[in-house]
């Protein structure tokens, strides 16, 4: 691999000092039109590429954001990643990414790796920061890291996070429940997810609260814990519901995958959506469009989420003032998986 050209090469060739070349590049000081022209030309001619490592070393921080996601494959996170990357680019940043798949040790290791890379900011979405009760050791670790590199997250890190951007899970649950209630449903179940994940618990709690407030029947068996967030979980959860003596008429699924799984269980029983069950999911990934009937789903504006996440990350890195607590609101996207109860 050939030696890379440096500002010294350019400077020598142009008969100026490296500083002048640097000044032109950064735009931090005036450079005479004549030299400017000569330098610009040389840069093109030599195809000069500034060394981000040197710049980063000099400024004790790189224009790179470290992103720790729980999973790249899940379309919710995949889309978020895509938006974040676009957003980062727009602001002149690159993304170093990592997926933990729920592995706690990995999460710790990655925190360190990104710290070593001297990323400008660490953005964490999902994973342990999203757990209801992240363990002490972990929070301590993040706190230590956060002393040298700011952390932006959607979860809660005991105050270690420099900035938090949450999704309004309660509002999301509200949209789902109220939509079904307005359609005349009274027997509404909630399936999927895990009891230790904050986002899930927040939804379930709000769901239960709303049922009560609306005088709708609440039953323990109508909240089916996971075992997880995939279609298999949804399938199994729905089968439990189907086995119940008193079945609900509507089902809220913790995400599109569990909804898809639930749909399969319903069809297997020879029943239909929305004829026999109305189905609402969260996340509104492309999966909700891929199912038939297409799923009515609570949607988060992932572009906005990404924009706030990355925007805050960049602002913090530049020492700008930011909103410490931000919330992204959901909205309901009505498709074909629900119908008026009793009505038609």
Binding stretches for DNA (CB under 7 A): 3-4, 6-8, 15-20, 22-23, 25-26, 28-32, 34-35, 50-51, 54-55, 57-60
- 4 is a contact residue toward a copy of itself (CB under 8 A): yes
Give the Cβ contact number of residue 83 at 10 Å: 19
Continuous H helices in 147-269? 169-182, 198-213, 231-242, 256-268
**Would you say 55 or 86 has its CB closer to DNA?**
55
Q: Per DSSP, what are the bridge partners of residue 298?
A: 282, 332
The closest alpha carbon to 197, from 239, 173, 229, belongs to 229
By CB under 8 A, tell whether 264 contacts a copy of itself.
yes
User: Which phi and psi (to 5°) does residue 326 adopt?
Assistant: -125, 150
| Distance in Å, CB of 58 to DNA, minimum | 4
Q: Which of 267, 320, 327, 342 binds a copy of itself (CB under 8 A)?
A: 267
Q: Closer to DNA by CB, 19 or 334: give it.
A: 19
| Euclidean distance between CA atoms 33 and 286, whole angstroms | 52
Q: Omega into 293 within 30° of 0, i.e. cis?
A: yes
Residue closer to DNA, measured from CB, 28 or 213: 28
Rounded to a whole number of angstroms, the minimum distance from the CB of residue 57 to DNA is 4
209 binds, among DNA, a copy of itself, none (CB under 5 to 8 A by kind): none
CA–CA distance, 344 with 340 (Å, rounded to integer): 6
At 253 the three-state DSSP class reads strand
Helix (H, G, I), strand (E, B) or coil at 67: strand
Chain residues in the site for a copy of itself (CB under 8 A): 1-2, 4, 47, 49-54, 56-57, 60, 62, 64, 71-73, 75, 78-79, 81-82, 85-86, 89, 94-99, 106, 112-113, 115-118, 144, 147-150, 231, 257, 260, 264, 267, 286-287, 289-292
């Amino acid at each position: 691999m050939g030696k890379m050209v440096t500002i010294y090469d350019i400077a020598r060739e142009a008969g100026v000092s490296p500083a002048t070349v640097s000044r032109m590049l950064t735009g931090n000081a005036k450079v005479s039109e004549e030299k400017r022209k000569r330098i610009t030309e040389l840069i093109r001619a030599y195809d000069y590429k500034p060394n981000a490592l040197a710049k980063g070393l000099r400024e004790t921080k790189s224009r790179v954001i470290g992103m720790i996601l729980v999973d790249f494959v899940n379309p919710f996170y995949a889309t978020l990643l895509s938006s974040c990357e676009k957003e980062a680019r727009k602001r002149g940043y690159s993304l170093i990414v990592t997926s933990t798949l729920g592995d706690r040790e990995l999460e710790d290791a990655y925190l360190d790796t990104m710290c070593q890379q001297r990323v400008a900011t660490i953005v964490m979405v999902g994973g342990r920061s999203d757990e209801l009760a992240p363990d002490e050791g972990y929070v301590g670790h993040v706190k230590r890291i956060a002393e040298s590199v700011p952390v932006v997250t959607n979860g809660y890190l005991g105050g270690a996070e420099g900035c938090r951007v949450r999704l309004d899970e309660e509002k999301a649950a509200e949209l789902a429940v109220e939509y079904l209630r307005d359609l005349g449903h009274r027997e509404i179940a909630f399936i999927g997810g895990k009891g230790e994940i904050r986002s899930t618990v927040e939804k379930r709690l709000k769901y239960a609260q709303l049922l009560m407030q609306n005088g709708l029947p609440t039953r323990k068996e109508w909240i089916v814990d996971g075992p997880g967030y995939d279609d298999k979980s949804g399938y199994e959860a729905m089968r439990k519901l189907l086995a119940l003596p008193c079945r609900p008429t509507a089902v809220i699924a913790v995400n599109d995958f569990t909804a898809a799984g639930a749909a399969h269980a319903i069809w297997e029983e020879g029943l239909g959506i929305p004829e026999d069950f109305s189905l609402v999911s969260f996340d509104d990934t492309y999966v909700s469009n891929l199912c038939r009937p297409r799923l009515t789903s609570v949607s988060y504006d992932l572009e906005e989420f990404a924009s706030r996440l990355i925007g805050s990350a960049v602002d913090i890195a530049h020492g700008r003032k930011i909103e410490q607590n931000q919330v992204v609101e959901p909205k309901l996207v009505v498709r074909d998986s629900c119908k008026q109860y009793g009505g038609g």
